Amino acid sequence: MPGLLSSPVCLTVIWFLSWSLHPSWAQIRTDEVSGVQYGHLESNVTLACGKSQIRMPVVWHLNHSSALPWHEVTSNGTLVLLQVDHSAQGIYSCYDNRGLLLHSAKLRLGHSPGLLSVSCRVPNHTHVRCSWVNSVRTFLPAQYNASFKGKGAEWRPCVLDVARKRCDVDQPAFWQTMHTLRVTETNALGSITTYHIVKLNKLLKPDPPEALMVKALEGYPKRLNVSWKVPSSWPEEVAFPLVFHIRYRPQGSVYWSEIYSEESPVVVLDALAGHLHQVQIRTRDELDTESQWSEWSPLLLIRPWEAYTTSTDPPEDSEETLSDNVDPFNTKLETSTAKTHNPVIEEEGNLGLVILLVLFSVVILITVPSLIYVVWVRQGRSDPVTKQELTSMVNMKSMPI
C-alpha cells in the first residue's frame, strides 16, 4: 500500500487535482461579489459550477439552503433548473464533496424586451415628443436608445427621458412630411428595435388656448365678450397663424352655438338673456387643415348683464368655473359635525361622574347611620354611654371625606 501511495501515477493525480482546483477557488472570490447570471422565465436555465471541466460530485445550494426548485444535475456538476419561475431566483452556490465552495452566482430571471407601442405629440412646429409603453413586462432593468430622421436625412438623436419613457426632438424638418422614430430597448436577455412612422403635420396639435375670459357687457342682456391668449407653447410669430373655435350655450341646452375667429376678443351677440351660459374654446393651425384641433379649454360659466339683478345673485358668481363650484352647505355641515363630536363624549363622561358621586353618597348615607346604630346598641348593652360621647362619635363619622 505505501508503495501505491508513493507511486508516480497517484502523485500525478494529486498534483493535478490541486492544480486544477486552486485557480477556481481564487476565481470564486471575485465571482461571489459581482456574478449575476440572467435567465429566461419559463425555460430551462443552466448554471455551471465554475469554469473547471473536471468531473466530480458537487452539491448545489440556493440561498444557503439545500432545497432547490425542480432541477437536474449533469455528470460534470452543471445544474439545470427546469421551467423556472420567479421563485427560482436567488444565490446559487456549488460545493465539492469536502464542503468547499467552488462557485457562486446570483440568478435573475425575466424576459427579453418586446416591441414598444409608440405615440408622438407635436405641440408646435419646432417640437416633437414621443413616448412609449412596453408590450412585455421583462422584470429586468432596460436601456433605451432613440433616434429620429426625416425621409432621406441622417439619423439624429431623440433626447431621452428614460424615467418617463419618452424622448424629444427639437427643430424637426417640418417641410418633410414623413419621419421615422427608432427606439431600441436592451436588457440582459436581448434587444429589440421598434420603428414608428410619424407624419408631423397630421400630428400637429396645439395646446388649448389659455386665459379664457368671458365678461357680461353692461347694458347688453344678450351679449358676452370672449377673450383668450394664444397657447404659450405656440410660437408668437405671424408665420404660424391659428384659428380659434368658440362654442357657447345656455346651461341645460344640448345645442352649442359656434364662432370661428383668428383673433381675440370676440363678442357673442345672441346669448339668451337672463340665463347662465357655458363657454369653451379650442384652436388649430390655420393653414394646415390636416392638423388636429387642440383639446377644449375648461368650461366657463357666465350670465349676461341683466337690468334688474337681485341681491341673491352676486356678480362674482358669474365667472366661476364649474370645477370651482363647491357646495357651501356641505362644507359647513362637515365642520359642524366635527365640532359637536367631542362635546358629546365629554357629556357622557360627566354623567358617569355624577352617577358615581350619587352612588357614593348613598353608600355613605346608609353605612354611617347603621354604624352609629351598632355602636349605640353595644354601648347600651355594656356600660351606658353619655349623650355627649355619642354625639361626638356621630360628628366624627359624618365628617366629610
Ligand X SMILES: *[C@@H]1O[C@H](CO)[C@@H](O)[C@H](O)[C@H]1NC(C)=O
Q: Does residue 127 interact with ligand X by CB under 6 A?
A: yes
Per the DSSP assignment, residues forming a β-bridge with 205 are none
380 binds ligand X (CB under 6 A): no
Q: Kindly state the smallest distance separating residue 56's Cβ from ligand X, in Å.
A: 22
Residue position matching grid coordinates 363657454: 279
Question: Residue 184 or residue 257: which is nearer to ligand X going by CB?
Answer: 184
Applying CB under 6 A, does 145 fall inside the site for ligand X? yes
Residue with the CB atom nearest ligand X in the bound state = 90
In order of 19, 21, 83, 96, 170, the CA distances from 50 in angstroms are 15, 10, 22, 11, 50
184 touches ligand X by CB under 6 A? yes
User: From CA 87, how far away is CA 45, in angstroms rounded?
Assistant: 13
How many residues interact with ligand X (rule CB under 6 A)?
A: 19
The one among 82, 153, 355, 356 contacting ligand X by CB under 6 A: 82
Which residue matches cell numbers 383639446?
295
Say if strands 178-187 and 190-199 run parallel, antiparallel, or are unpaired.
antiparallel
Kindly state whether residue 87 participates in binding ligand X, applying the rule CB under 6 A: yes
Residues in contact with ligand X, shown as a per-residue x/- string from 218 to 247 under the rule CB under 6 A: ---------------x-x------------
Q: What is the dihedral of CA 8, 9, 10, 16, to 10 degrees?
A: 100
Alpha-helical (H) ranges within 90-199 are none
User: Is the Cβ of residue 72 or residue 262 nearer to ligand X in the bound state?
Assistant: 72
The residue range among 25-33, 86-94, 133-141, 293-301 that interacts with ligand X, by the rule CB under 6 A, is 86-94
CA 396 to CA 385: how far, in whole Å? 16
Kindly state the smallest distance separating residue 232's Cβ from ligand X, in Å: 7
Comparison of 147 and 227: residue with beta carbon closer to ligand X: 147
Residue where the block lists cell 414623413: 178
Cβ-proximal residues to 129 (8 Å cutoff; 6+ apart), any chain: 120, 121, 122, 123, 166, 167, 168, 169
With contacts defined by CB under 6 A, name the span among 85-93, 159-167, 353-361, 387-395 that binds ligand X. Answer: 85-93
Per CB under 6 A, residues contacting ligand X are: 43-44, 62-63, 82, 87, 89-91, 123-124, 126-127, 145, 147, 155, 184, 233, 235
